[in-house]
Amino acid sequence: MTFPREALNRLRWGAGGLDGVVVTYIHRGAPGGLASVMGEDITELGRSFFVVGEAHIPYHRIVLIERGREIVFRAPPNGGAHCSSGNCA
């Protein structure tokens, strides 16, 4: 399994850097509960968070990372938690 930080670091140090990358994450208070940022707006990839402006966003809130039409990372539907109910779509 690839983790969001690993995916962002691979993109950052690969050809093109984070240009054209879109990161969608859980944002309490945003319409629909999600917000997106452009990769070129990310100023730091920390150990447990990434930085956009003055906001420190934890990696565990990332639900999707895309570059163009390619999905680089998609969080599991249940956030990776174990399912005990048998109904874990």
Q: What is the pLDDT of residues 49-77, one digit of tens each?
A: 999 999 999 999 999 999 999 999 999 98
Enter the tokens of residue 61.
């809130």
What does the alpha-carbon distance between residue 80 and residue 37 come to, in Å, rounded to a whole number? 23
* 81 lies in some domain: no
Q: What is the CATH number of the domain that holds 38?
A: 2.30.30
Residue 22 placed within a domain? yes
Number of compact structural domains in the chain = 1
pTM of the model: 0.84
Tokens of 1: 């399994």
Q: What does the CA dihedral 58, 14, 72, 65 come to, rounded to 10 degrees?
A: 40
DSSP 46: -
Tell me which residue range forms the domain holding 30. 4-74
In the block, tokens 């990434």 appear at: 50
